[in-house]
Amino acid sequence: MADILGIEGLTVDIDKTVETDTNITIRVKRRPKGMTACPRCRNAFIRPNGSRLVTYRDLPVRGKTVTIEWERQRYMCLNTGSDTWQCGQSFSDEHEELHPSRLMTMRLFEYIGRRCLKHTFASVAADINVDEKTVRNVFEAWVERQVYEMGDPIAPRVLGIDEVHLLHQARGIMTNVVERTLYDLLPDRRRETIATRIQAMPDRDEVEVVTMDMWRPYRDVVHALMPQADIVIDKWHVVKMANEALEAARKSFRKELSAKRRRTLLNDRFLLLKRRHKLTPMQELLLQAWTKEFPILGHAYAAKEGFYAVYDELSAEEARDTYAIWLDSLTDEMKAFFQPLIRAVGNWDEEVFNYFRFPKLTNAYTEALNGLVKIANRNGRGYSFDVLRAKMMFQYSEAAKDEGVPPGAALSVLPGQQHPEFVGMDMATLAALLEEEFNHGHSTELSG
């Protein structure tokens, strides 16, 4: 029984320790010499000032609730200071293994934090016999500490700013494009939110390029806070608009079709989205059949292919020339379908054609990112944004033995460095691990 507590520096009072069928109450003796100085003024002249019995929660033992009762020594500071100031602070003994404000042991605090990454707040509360609100509050405090201890990844040379739709809302996401890692996940994509996060980024003046979609607040923030960085509109966002124009053309005549024919065309639309040189002979025949029957579809497909050819060029100058030729070739009917794309290129001309200055910079993370979104939004998962973000940022944050960084984190060794730097959480790894947890059943369901 003497070793039941296992916390160095705290002595169990065996005579006052009680065990029942459901609970263990451990009495801890007063430490007459626990504190050596006043925490307020650091003066060493202090005196005992009575004691107070304080109750803490600990991890369950053998399925029983564990309560620690500590006769906590109180002190008074004797620093008289000067004629105009005296300390006189009253304070209590503290121990590093007891949380200073949560009335629980640090090991229980850690257990709750890590457990909540894989289980619902309700199930964690039931496991340790506390109320759900306590678990939620502890988890939030644990996450705050993780944020502080982990610190920011190093500023990426190429920063990606994008959005994902999680839990019915657009969220801002920041990535290290070169390393293909997650830099941060933000609660929304508002100008103020993005600006606040970038302002907190260490060495943001070292960011050379920012890739983004065509969302004006992103551009405004980058111009204001990282004026040295070139802005590149990712190819994926631009060609997606060409595909959407083609889809608009397809939908323009579907009312003329029977329900069966509409379903067939819907199933065959993947042919329209493929590049012509990637079609098989059979797919080419199917496409020709549709475009022969509906010439508007053929014109829209040709316009889509013509725009894609812009990105086949090797320089910004050649790309601009090809785009101008493509634009002149459009009929008024096709211009109506492609107008959103035409307007976007006009409004973002410099940023769109900057792609050809940095042709290897693209949304390399998109596939993994879509996997994360699919998992997070899956029916029955019960994710909240805070839990999802914490899971993505901290689930694998137990310090690795050799590197002192999160397992699953990506490392980069820069010239002149002896140790690798933390550059973010690898998104492909995160997606795979989240998928694995989902497949293991309801025991890993999250809520919040």
Q: How far apart are CA 306 and CA 242, in angstroms?
A: 10
At 134 the pLDDT is: 93
Q: Which residue has the higher pLDDT, 426 or 423?
A: 426
Average pLDDT of the chain to the nearest whole number: 81
At 254 the pLDDT is: 74
Is the pLDDT score of 433 beyond 60?
Answer: no
Give the chain's end-to-end CA distance (angstroms, integer). 38
Lookup: tokens for 297: 């579809």
Q: What is the DSSP letter of 419?
A: S
The pTM of the whole model exceeds 0.75: no
Over residues 72-108, the pLDDT tens digits come to: 888 899 887 666 567 888 888 888 899 988 999 999 9
Is the pLDDT score of 447 beyond 50?
Answer: no
C-beta of residue 229 within 8 angstroms of C-beta of residue 207: yes
Q: Which residues make Cβ contacts (< 8 Å) with residue 32, sequence separation at least 6?
A: 48, 73
Determine the Cα angle at 70 with ends 65 and 72, to 5°.
155
Domain with CATH 3.30.420 in the chain: 158-233+361-444
| Nearest Cα residue to 161 out of 189, 187, 192 | 189
Architecture label for domain 158-233+361-444: 2-Layer Sandwich (3.30)
At 436 the pLDDT is: 54
Which residues on neighbouring strands pair with residue 75, listed in sequence order? Answer: 48, 91
- Radius of gyration of the CA atoms of the chain, in A: 31
SS3 (DSSP) at 403: coil
Which residues on neighbouring strands pair with residue 18, listed in sequence order? Answer: 25
Q: How far apart are CA 359 and CA 312, in angstroms?
A: 11
At 410 the pLDDT is: 41
Over residues 137-170, the pLDDT tens digits come to: 999 889 888 877 777 778 889 999 988 887 788 8
pLDDT level of residue 371 (50, 70, 90 thresholds)? low
Q: Which residues make Cβ contacts (< 8 Å) with residue 343, sequence separation at least 6?
A: none
Count other Cβ atoms within 10 Å, centred on residue 394: 21
Phi/psi-derived region of residue 416, left when phi > 0, alpha when psi is between -120 and 50, beta in every other case:
left
Q: Which residue has the higher pLDDT, 156 or 421?
A: 156
Pairing status of strand 90-92 against strand 169-176: unpaired
Is the pLDDT score of 421 beyond 90?
Answer: no
Q: What is the DSSP letter of 205?
A: G
| Nearest Cα residue to 140 out of 417, 324, 389, 354 | 389
| Nearest Cα residue to 269 out of 285, 252, 255, 290 | 290
Q: Which of 20-29, 118-127, 227-236 has the lowest mean pLDDT?
A: 118-127
At 440 the pLDDT is: 46
Q: Which of 118-127, 152-161, 244-253, 262-271 has the lowest mean pLDDT?
A: 262-271
- Identity of the amino acid at 33: K
